[in-house]
Amino acid sequence: MKLCILGGGGFRTPHVYQALLADRATPRVTEVALYDVDASRLATMTAILREMGAGHPDAPTLVPTTDLHNAVAGSDFVFAALRVGGLEGRCCDEHVALDAGVLGQETTGPGGLAYAIRTIPVMLQIAQVVKDLAPDAYVLNFTNPAGIITEAMQGALGDRVLGICDTPSGLGRRVASSLGLDPARVQLDYIGLNHLGWMRRVLYNGRDVLPELLADDARLGALEEGQLFGLDWIRTLGAIPNEYLYYYDFTRDAVRSIVSSGATRGDYLQTSQTEFYERAQAVDPGADIASLWRSTVDSRSASYMAEARGDEPGTESDEWYESAAEDESAQGGYAGEAVAVMAAISRNERTTMILNVRNNGTIAGLPDDAVVEVPTTVDANGVHPLSTAQPDLRQLGLMLQVKAVERHAIAAATTGSRDEALQAFALHPLVDSVNVARELLSGYIARIPEVAAVLTR
Ligand code: G6P
Ligand code: MN
């Protein structure tokens, strides 16, 4: 099978390749087209992948290219992980919002909307190329904000595009491990939109084990979510919120922590990632760049969300995400999830996974064509949401409002309308005044050329 990775020069590509090397069953991926607009990053990543593939006689062939058509043509699967505007764009997403006194974050709040608005047109062009040159391919979208991007692409590709996020399954795995249970055997009752959802039950042999965890001070306190939300709030909710709900439930605290930490996550990554690519390019041919990548990726995982905890960005925590690197190289993480979806579809090995798919009546209060993040069955027939208990009013209310916002962002990106963009910012639950929304709109247009290029009307 041919796999195409869009954004192949990106920092997490080696995780995908490692997961492919570990995949032994048939059919498996034999060719990987790596596409990126940045030839030098592409060369760095290709060198790392070749290093990883050495010693594997059946390692998938690597075809690096900056030609989108060649990359996509004839693919069985397309993975998409791009960052339009690069890390510089991410920094502006965060800072324009913080300057306006509201949350500045990669995907949650106005930053995610600015990110979506400039990314959607690029992803729609890609969707058209897939439709023309790989009409039977499944697109596994990691590009953030994953829910919005997936929904926009479904307009062209329908159910052949689905969105992947590692946070719901990561939470499920950590819950299971904390109770000493095999993560592969738990069933997760999760509902939400991407980066906005709740783990309501964790079933093991037909029994919900979540109440056991919620009652256990030591175990709940050791869980990242226990530290973020506090034990009392989780117990009050009776469910474990996705870590991104922190930005909704503790908005002021999050903004204060980010501001007092001195720099945003984007600022930290821009420095550390630039340094990584520079160092990788400077080493002698044949030197061990894979180990440089490994140590850089470990620090990145260990410092995830540091600024939300009030730590200086880049501060590594022992407990926090200590298992993230392990997770990535084993079954978990974005790569593990994506390769598992691909295996289930191509080998008709039916499995259950939490994915971003078309609602189709799963959540009664949301439109059928809204993309939601819920448990699904995945097999050769595609991806189908499982029926589930309905959300409570707060959950539904928040999902409805954010979905309305997402749709204004999609309309802004597809029509170029500033009025639509203004509505997206103004209606967002984390933006508390229309005047702030106006400031955000003009700030993003002024600071991010890729946003200005889209919002022309
Ligand atoms: C998690 C989320 C991703 C997000 C990433 C940010 O994995 O699920 O959607 O992009 O964290 O991590 P970073 O290291 O870029 O801050
Ligand atoms: Mn995610």
pLDDT at 203: 97
- The verdict on residue 143 lying in a domain is yes
Q: Which residue type occupies 197?
A: G
For residue 166, report the distance from its CA to the centre of ligand 2, in Å: 6
From the CA of 273, the nearest ligand is 1
Structural domain of 121: 2-84+109-163
CB within 6 Å of ligand 1 — which residues? Answer: 144, 165-167, 265, 269, 300, 304
- The verdict on residue 47 lying in a domain is yes
| Average pLDDT along the chain, 457 residues, taken 10 residues at a time | 98 96 94 98 96 95 98 98 97 98 98 98 98 98 98 97 97 96 96 98 97 98 96 98 98 97 95 94 85 93 88 77 47 84 96 97 98 98 96 98 98 98 99 98 98 98
- The verdict on residue 177 lying in a domain is no
pLDDT at 295: 92
- The verdict on residue 217 lying in a domain is no
Residues 6+ apart with CB under 8 A from 61: 30, 31, 32
CA distances from 213 to 8, 18, 189, 457 (A): 39, 33, 15, 52
- The verdict on residue 238 lying in a domain is no
For residue 334, report the distance from its CA to the centre of ligand 1, in Å: 9
- The verdict on residue 359 lying in a domain is no
Please state the φ and ψ torsions of residue 110, each to the nearest 5 degrees.
Answer: -60, -30
pLDDT at 319: 55
Cα atoms in the Cβ-side hemisphere of radius 13 Å centred on 150? 30
Q: Which residue type occupies 392?
A: D
pLDDT at 331: 55
pLDDT at 414: 98
Smallest CA-to-CA distance from 63 within 30, 37, 40 is with 30
Residues 72, 78 contacting (CB under 8 angstroms): yes
Q: Which of 224, 247, 304, 334 to mutate to test the pocket of ligand 1 (most atoms within 8 A of CB)?
A: 304
Domain harbouring 33, CATH code: 3.40.50.720
Q: How many domains does the chain have?
A: 1
**Tokens at 340, concatenated:** 């598992």
- The verdict on residue 14 lying in a domain is yes
From the CA of 90, the nearest ligand is 1
**C-alpha angle 433-438-443 in degrees, rounded to nearest 5:** 125
- The verdict on residue 65 lying in a domain is yes
CA distances from 410 to 103, 147, 151, 240 (A): 21, 11, 9, 29
From the CA of 12, the nearest ligand is 1
For residue 285, report the distance from its CA to the centre of ligand 1, in Å: 31
